[in-house]
Amino acid sequence: MRKFWCAFFVFWPIVAIIYSLISSLVPSLGWWFPGASVTELGQRIDNLFYLILYIVTTVFVGTQIAMGYVLWRASHSKDERAWFSHGSHSLEVIWSVVPSVILLFLALYQMDVWALFRVQAYFPKEAREAPVAEVTARQFEWRIRYPAPGKKLQLKPQPDDLYDVNDLHVPINRPVMIQLRSGDVQHSFFLPHLRVKQDAIPGQIIPIWFKAEKLGIFDLTCAELCGWGHYKMRAQLSAEREVEYEAYLKKLQADQNYDGHAIPSAVAKKDE
């Protein structure tokens, strides 16, 4: 049984090292993040994550190996007595000060990323001044309201606003801001590929900004258990070129004003 505990404590750091090695050497397995971040800010968030991961891994592997070593040594000699360290002042100072320094460093080091991600005053001015859409989470879908092309998003719905559901379109290479709301309970707006996650809270309008730097369709899911249909809140973010984005809004506008006579777009035609 003595040997078992030695092996037990050494086993986990080995698993941790193998897992990190495989996931960093073969990122295509998707054991880690869903690919590299699509935004620059997301990359910086990833870097923060990795920094913490390295610190934690070092501490974890170190302590486990130390523990394994101590048990191993003790299991071999019955004569050696344990060193009774309880109440050692210097030891207590060490294990209080070292983690404090690490935590304080992390707290200061992440401040600019946090401010950029979360504090509205630090958002890019371009994004702050012209939110592209209002996204309302509701059991169990995402309802999206865009301003009419060339207009600004207003707090209250306007007669010429454009509506879509579960498909948020944004232009790439430009910071965009959306206003997040909830129609019923708490939801969470989660763009895993962009490393954006923000709770939607009833009664609040919460701004989120991001700058997609890659074309594509990315998952938009709900990351807060919001009811029995939580899994149904699977939408998509279409990051597209400025021209495509404008064309999308134009198409939405044409569809929304469709009266059976105007030339409908392909989608409207299919609906009829």
Measured CA to CA in angstroms, residue 219 lies from 34, 37, 190, 192 at distances of: 10, 13, 8, 7
- Fill in the per-residue mask, 188 to 207: x = in contact with other proteins (CB under 8 A), - = not in contact: ---------------xxx-x
Instruction: Pick the closer one to other proteins by CB: 4 or 105.
Output: 4
Rounded Cα distance, 122 and 136, in Å? 24
Instruction: Pick the closer one to other proteins by CB: 99 or 157.
Output: 157
Tell whether residue 145 is a contact of other proteins (CB under 8 A).
Answer: yes
* H or E stretch at 163: strand 162-165
Tell whether residue 143 is a contact of other proteins (CB under 8 A).
Answer: yes
Whether cis (ω within 30° of 0) applies to the bond prior to 190 is no
- Fill in the per-residue mask, 249 to 268: x = in contact with other proteins (CB under 8 A), - = not in contact: ------xxxxxxxx------
Measured CA to CA in angstroms, residue 40 lies from 10, 34, 44 at distances of: 38, 15, 6
Stretch that binds other proteins, among 60-68, 82-90, 110-118, 159-167 (CB under 8 A): 159-167
Tell whether residue 156 is a contact of other proteins (CB under 8 A).
Answer: yes
Rounded Cα distance, 93 and 89, in Å? 6
Instruction: Pick the closer one to other proteins by CB: 150 or 203.
Output: 203
Quote the crossing angle between the two packed helices 40-76 and 2-25, to the nearest 10°: 160
Residue 15: how many CB atoms within 10 A of its CB?
Answer: 9
Residue 225, token pair as written in the block: 């258990």
Candidates 235, 240, 248, 249: give the one binding other proteins (CB under 8 A): 235
Instruction: Pick the closer one to other proteins by CB: 45 or 170.
Output: 170
Point out which residues pair with 142 in neighbouring strands.
137
* Shortest Å distance, C-beta 247 to other proteins: 19
- Fill in the per-residue mask, 75 to 114: x = in contact with other proteins (CB under 8 A), - = not in contact: ----------------------------------------
* Shortest Å distance, C-beta 132 to other proteins: 11
Rounded Cα distance, 200 and 96, in Å? 38
CB-CB contact of 46 with 54 (8 Å): no
Q: Given the rule CB under 8 A, which residues bind other proteins? A: 131, 134, 136, 138-141, 143, 145, 152-159, 163, 165-167, 179, 181, 183, 203-205, 207, 228-229, 232-236, 255-262, 270-272
